[in-house]
Chain A
């Protein structure tokens, strides 16, 4: 406890680093996964290709991916960009399937009614299908947010600073309190992101407030490390 009190500044600085690394992947993966998921659902062939690709990408362990990325995109090994891109890729891999499943969950009758009322494919997507698949998307994004916050820590072993640095530093210097502080702060940050998503869901989807949330149709176990 004394270590924590003496190093509040350090913990706060690492928390900010952590937010900077984890927020972009969460946002970017959603923006990319929505059109990709739509496309995956649209054609039988694209569904097979995109969902299989996403499954394989998801199977790639994160630490080796962070090592491989610099060779592919030409960044320096220690660049935080590698961590951000790696986590964005995992987010996309997970969310593409969720988006496809979410769009599938929209009742065919509702879709046809919307077309009969004169919605174009474009406006039907934005005003009918996307909002109705919202609860499924939210469930998926909650998984993405929590696992992203947890995975950012992996970058610490190659020197990308985050709350994970408290683990590596605490381990090397034998300070147990530092590791525990890092664990608590990481879990707290994950819960904070999760809570923010739930809140956003309530604001954006007022019609879901009284209904029990749907079971997420996503793989709930995320390959860690």
Chain B
């Protein structure tokens, strides 16, 4: 417990709130970096996922690619890209964008797929154009699963951003690695606690968002009875 006391003392130490290595600055870096990565990944994955979900084409390919990407170790991708582009923030941006795409893509197309086909047929029957169907039916009904995908991606990016400090002077991970170098366990432990708290806080925020984006008139979660379990648990983990 002494170790935790020293870690908390490190977190509260005023010396760690000034200069270029200040805790708030590192948290800010961590968050901005994660946000930008998620925006990049979303810009690629959401339109693509909606296209796959709406047309039903290319699903097999998307599933295989996402599955394959899961097997690739983050650290390997990170170090490889860092060797290519040099030490700095570019490598983490590239590597993490690649990693964040599969969960968002999966959230986007499974969100569309989980919708009852009869609902979409009904929308078509009342004269909606394809674009209207996407905008007014599929998009709102698929939103909870998309948010679920974004939630997985966010957790993954926050976690991997810590690792990114191995190749760049970036975010809370710096404390872990500089502590490791100087054998300062209080710094390592304090930094670790901050990352864990950040991840849990975001997890909580996403859990709330996910509850609020279910459109009015839709009872509970999307999908029909047997699919409900699959869909909702995959989204809510």
Q: Quick one: closest B residue to A104, CB to CB?
A: B229
- Inter-chain contact count A-B, CB under 8 Å? 172
Majority DSSP secondary structure for residues of A touching B: helix
Residues on the B chain within 8 Å of A104, using CB: 229
6 closest A-B pairs (Cβ-Cβ)? A61-B159, A64-B192, A221-B103, A171-B79, A225-B160, A219-B237
The answer, yes or no, to whether A205 is at the interface (CB within 8 Å) is no
The answer, yes or no, to whether B191 is at the interface (CB within 8 Å) is yes
When the two chains form their complex, are residues B71 and A149 in contact, meaning their CB atoms are under 8 A apart?
A: yes
Q: Quick one: closest A residue to B176, CB to CB?
A: A67
When the two chains form their complex, are residues A157 and B3 in contact, meaning their CB atoms are under 8 A apart?
A: no
Q: Name the residue among B66, B167, B196, B236 with the largest chain A CB count within 10 angstroms.
A: B196
Residues of A in contact, count (CB < 8 Å): 55
Q: Digitize B1-18: 1 where CB-to-A-CB distance is under 8 Å, 0 elsewhere.
A: 001100100000000000
Please tell me the size bucket of the interface on B: 35 or more
Q: Digitize A176-206: 1 where CB-to-B-CB distance is under 8 Å, 0 elsewhere.
A: 1001101100110011000000000000000
Residues on the A chain within 8 Å of B177, using CB: 157
When the two chains form their complex, are residues B163 and A97 in contact, meaning their CB atoms are under 8 A apart?
A: no
Nearest CB in chain B: distance from A32 CB, A:
19
Q: Given A67-B176, A150-B70, A170-B83, A61 and B237 touching (CB < 8 A)?
A: no
Q: Quick one: closest A residue to B236, CB to CB?
A: A55
Residues on the A chain within 8 Å of B237, using CB: 55, 58, 97, 219
Q: Given A171-B167, A217-B234, A157 and B75 touching (CB < 8 A)?
A: yes
